[in-house]
Amino acid sequence: MGIKDILLQVDAGAAYPARLDLAVGLAQRHGAHLIGLCVFDVRLVPGAGFRAIERVDSMALPEWQFQLRTEALEAAAKLESDFRERLRRNGLQGEWRLVEGDAAATIGLHARYADLAVLGQEDPDDSRISGWTAVLQQALLSSGRPLLIVPYAGRFAQIGRRVLVGWNARREAARAVHDALPLIEHAEAVTVLAVDPHGGVGGHGGEPAADISRHLARHGLRVAAAQTVSAGLDTADVLLNYAADHDADLIVIGGYGHPRVWEIVMGGVTRALLQRMTVPVLMSH
């Protein structure tokens, strides 16, 4: 089965046009229904224009919240108009959703009813938004769907030509590889990279990354298995450096963790990729 529903995070940030271009391209390629999801969450730093608030009577809001909500709805109206015009211009089927509430919970819920969610990376230089990385983490854990995270810098009109799979032989990595298949089915090259591989039951086996590479090859993909050692580098940096050296336009990796012990269980890799990615990253949990 292919990709038939794509959920797109819509906001007023500078990175949104590039994310929209990518989502539109994917929807055209797969004949998918494109859903624009605009979420207001006032807890993501008050006073920043495009936010969401709890669903309450607007007359009961403090003055600053009332003004914030008014500005947000005005911004959303413009975004909706532009989104619908883009659907019309590109001959796409789609819909617009405007939701007030908790961003992570809302995205996680709506993503469950789509094949893919296209979301943006947090921009550390954008003081209007903070806490977005935590939203992405929670959405990853709660949605049960693959998230395609698009960097805040750069344009990525096409992905899946040269793909890097970060492989550690765990369940989440296998889930991510499976979820990525529709996106990478026409890839020129796929490299499966094992960083600091280990043997034993549940490990990488005698030839790291070879088993999953053979599985992908049976899907008609041109796959190469590789392994490397981190040599003291953060695993996320090893993946990003390898992606840059091999001109990868997509990284596929499993997302790990539990909300209450996220920093401990994740080992920092997923969070570091969310913070430092330079190419789009597909994550599944």
Taking all residues of the chain, what is their mean pLDDT, rounded to a whole number? 87
Identify the pLDDT of residue 262. Answer: 43
Question: Is 81's pLDDT higher than 90?
Answer: yes
284 Cβ contact partners less than 8 Å away, ≥ 6 residues apart: 140, 145, 146, 147, 172, 175, 176, 178, 179, 180, 254, 255
Map out the domains of the chain as residue ranges.
5-150, 162-280
Q: Tens digits of per-residue pLDDT, 117-167?
A: 999 999 888 755 668 888 998 999 999 999 999 999 999 988 999 999 999
Question: Is 257's pLDDT higher than 60?
Answer: no
Query: What number is the average pLDDT over the span 91-110?
Result: 95
Give exposure, 224-241, as e/b (b: 16+ Cβ within 10 Å): ebbbbeeeeeebbebbbe
Identify the pLDDT of residue 20. Answer: 97
Task: Read off the tokens for 81.
Answer: 């108009």
**Strands 116-120 and 147-150: what pairing?**
parallel
Q: Where are the beta strands (DSSP E) in the chain?
A: 5-10, 33-40, 94-100, 116-120, 147-150, 162-167, 189-195, 223-228, 250-254, 281-284
Question: Is 35's pLDDT higher than 70?
Answer: yes
Alpha carbons 32 and 205: distance in angstroms, whole number: 38
Task: Read off the tokens for 43.
Answer: 């807890």
Q: Quick one: fold of 5-150? A: Rossmann fold (3.40.50)
Among 57-61, 123-127, 138-142, 236-240, which stretch is predicted with the lowest mean pLDDT? Answer: 57-61
Q: Which residue has the higher pLDDT, 274 or 115?
A: 115
Alpha carbons 253 and 22: distance in angstroms, whole number: 19
CA atoms within 13 A on the CB side of 85: 6
Identify the pLDDT of residue 59. Answer: 47
Identify the pLDDT of residue 52. Answer: 41
Identify the pLDDT of residue 206. Answer: 72
In this structure, are residues 100 and 55 in contact, taking their beta carbons and an 8 Å threshold? yes
Give exposure, 102-125, as e/b (b: 16+ Cβ within 10 Å): bbbbbbbbbbeebbbbbbbbbbee
Question: Is 55's pLDDT higher than 70?
Answer: no
Superfamily the domain 162-280 falls into: HUPs (3.40.50.620)
Residue 82, amino acid: D
Give the sheet arrangement for strand 250-254, strand by strand.
Answer: 94-100, 33-40, 5-10, 116-120, 147-150, 281-284, 250-254, 162-167, 189-195, 223-228
Identify the pLDDT of residue 140. Answer: 92
Query: What number is the average pLDDT over the span 59-73?
Result: 72
Predicted TM-score (pTM) of the model is: 0.88
Question: Is 104's pLDDT higher than 60?
Answer: yes
Question: Is 266's pLDDT higher than 50?
Answer: no
Are domains 5-150 and 162-280 of this chain identical in fold?
A: yes
Query: What number is the average pLDDT over the span 59-64?
Result: 60
